[in-house]
Amino acid sequence: MNRLLGLFCAVLFTLTLGCGGDGLSRVVIRGKVVALNGPVGQAAVSFIPKEGTKGEGGIGTTDNDGNFTLIGSRLNDAGVVPGKYKVVVSRYMEKDGRVIPSNEYKEADNPLAIQSVPAPFSTIDSTLEVTVAESGGALQVEIPAKLLEKGK
Domain ranges across the chain? 2-17+24-143
Residue 58 is classified by DSSP as E
How many Cβ atoms from other residues are within 10 Å of residue 63's Cβ?
14
Contact 95, 151 (CB under 8 A): yes
d(CA 91, CA 45): 9
pTM score: 0.81
Q: Residue 143: is its pLDDT beyond 80?
A: yes
Residue 10: pLDDT above 70?
no
- Mean pLDDT (the chain) is 85
CATH class of domain segment(s) 2-17+24-143: mainly beta
* Residue 71 DSSP label: E
pLDDT digits 0-9 by tens, 62-76: 999 999 999 887 766
**Biggest CA pair distance of the chain:** 49
Output 89 or 72, whichever has higher pLDDT. 89
Q: 5 pLDDT exceeds 90?
A: no
Which pLDDT score, from 0 to 100, does residue 18 have?
A: 39
Q: What is the pLDDT of residue 42?
A: 94
Strand duo 92-93 + 137-143: pairing: unpaired
More confident residue, 33 or 12: 33
Among 12-16, 42-46, 104-108, 132-136, whose mean pLDDT is lowest? Answer: 12-16
Q: Residue 121: is its pLDDT beyond 50?
A: yes
Q: How many CB atoms lie within 10 A of CB 144?
A: 10
**HSE of 27, CA atoms in CB hemisphere, 13 A:** 16
